[in-house]
Amino acid sequence: MTHDVGLKLWRAERPGLAANHRVYVENIIEELFEPLYTKEYIKELKQEIMSAYYPAGIKPASEHAVIDSLNDIQAFSINEVELMGYDNNNCMEETVKEISSREQDPAQKEIWGRWGYDNTKWMKNTKQDPETLYVAKYEK
């Protein structure tokens, strides 16, 4: 299975997800700083950045600008992975396996099941049995 098919299945298993630029930016901030700082510090940093640079009510200039930005980020990311000596397609397949093994927070899952997606970030089940979590093997 290719990673794009895997991501389509991942989205299908999370009904109601919708494009949300604010949530996307928050996710990117988290991932950008994950190799450098603790989760607690990243949470504070994310709140500070979002308050200062993405105030409530602000909207992207256009859908075209968003698509251009997203594709530029993909190009930078693919190049960085490949420059590090890894095969991006294989790495993405491993990432999809890892994120697909995660379970949703039970309380959020119930809320979304009853009332639908509420424009919040998909939250992991922090009590998921670690034996059920797949860990990406990027060195393959």
Q: What is the dihedral of CA 109, 115, 121, 124, to 10 degrees?
A: 0
In a domain, 138, yes or no: no
- Whole-prediction pTM value? 0.80
> What are the tokens at 100?
């697909």
For residue 59, give Cα distances in angstroms to 22, 46, 102: 9, 18, 31
Q: Which structure tokens are listed for 126?
A: 């922090």
**Confidence class for position 135, pLDDT limits 50, 70, 90:** very high
- CA–CA gap between residue 62 and residue 67 (Å, rounded): 9
Domain count, the chain: 1
What is the residue range of 11's domain?
3-132
Residue 126: inside a domain: yes
For the segment 48-66, what is each residue's pLDDT rounded down to a tens digit?
Answer: 999 999 998 899 999 999 9
52-67: buried (b, 16+ CB within 10 Å) or exposed (e) per residue? eeeeeeeeeeeeeeee
Does 44 map to a domain? yes
Is 137 within the bounds of a domain? no
In a domain, 65, yes or no: yes
Each residue's pLDDT tens digit, 69-94: 999 999 999 999 999 999 999 999 99
Q: Quick one: how far is CA 123 from the chain centroid?
A: 10
